[in-house]
Structure 1
């Protein structure tokens, strides 16, 4: 599949929103700045719906291929990255627990338990990669289910989970489940939506990028207006509305990606989203912890400190991406060639040949 500028920009936007959101959360800048808190809400409305939607849209061909090809091209690389980066997640989580204020369950034993349970309850931002691998397997298993039925059921589950899980299960149980187990019923709908609408989405984003219209501007303005309204009146997490906001965030985010499709820097970030995703949290927590431990900066941070933090973290991930494109350290973000070859041989010898 040829690269589509607006798709790369969409991935880049989502990646910047993720980095910005995590920087705001760890620096707690929203406690000192209402505009930063509103920005955080805007990010939350779009970043994960866009990530999962675009992942589904870009993964449609893999799902339509044989089990062997899909597992080798999609699931195995995700699992490799998930396992490889577990020590980094453990390190930054433990560091934050020992240095930063107001952290919960900071003992070494608690961190070891969470690390040991990471395959069923992922910790940190790696839950997205874990969930994505599961989504690919689930949609492959359900390939005989009509797309409309699968989409409707996934949408109802997402709406119900977002609206009522906290009330029915309690906040403490939801926290026990963690972001991964909560994310599965929440975002499967967006992955399925991207998957079943892949052809339409790619054609629209490719065509619309060359025909910027005022309607796209209206959609983006409406998205921002709705999110700001929900934030000001504190209905962002209200039942049903919370689901609607994520759908609005997806639509508004995609429209913004098309409008910004000529921004080369965003395209570059989108092409290097995986290295940025894997490195940003350890770098954010490391910077904040060092500055806090040396009493150079207190927590919460001022808003400008958070912007500087994002500006420092993103280039590191981009540097790793540039090195990857030149053949260096590729194993940090993708299957190493020896493992890829071995898995291909194992898959071929298993006799798996049945297509979807």
Structure 2
């Protein structure tokens, strides 16, 4: 291979044929199974969109009852895993806890477990893991799942012991995070799945990838940036300093979108609507950051991505920033599992190549410098 064959970061390289979602980066469109994201967010809800992504069509009444029932009945965790969670370091990052518990759950399942049933099982359990860790970390009594609540309501209830008035908005935010084509975590999980490993290993891989600050962890870093700025008057100097030092501005830019990320546009609208009635922390600073960054990079088409306003929204909902990326995972598992199962239908193990640029023809010498002949 020659260096000109290198596609750094696999940019522009197609690795699968998929009917799950479509991203038009030039027009700023995101489509799930033929439906534009704006349409689904306006009219649908988590369970229905999950069914759409897994099965390829919106459910009828019986199918709707099936998916709701499956998700609600599989929420509980084995008690000894809960006891193990109580032994985790209290400063453990929620994404590290989620990654570890998902891996542990694999020991409770049959080896041949890359089925839809197991995908639904994990999707149902991830909110429980997150909520339990929030309660354990804060020395609060665990709140067990309630079957009569829907997916997002049950999560908020287990976290806070009540149903906040923003539960419908939270449910719609999960739809925004559910799927996004062959992104880093989806690709990583598909690579693991291509080896015919189990679904728990697949999702452990995905969570580990999502945890990185250049991927799902960016929403946490956005809030940290806004906290550090602290004052709207400091925004221009802060951004210019990042640019001078060639540091990343968290929450901006996207490998695919060359215009405004449609998910960011929706999230910004929601935050604007909330701010018309009550104060939303950091929103004024965020708007100024967007203005400055877009102006500084007006020739490069750099706009906010999904991470920029989601952190502000979740913070307003009372969710601690270290839990932001777990919310991302709670939704994205639907896309991860859908891609893993779809790829298996025409499976081929991934085996890319690297271009070697190291030394050659070296001869082994012992510690005294004496050359050893084979």
Q: Which has the higher helix share?
A: 1
Bigger radius of gyration among the two = 2
How high is the TM-score relative to the length of structure 2?
A: 0.29
Q: Highest relative contact order (Cα 8 Å, sep 6+), 1 or 2?
A: 1
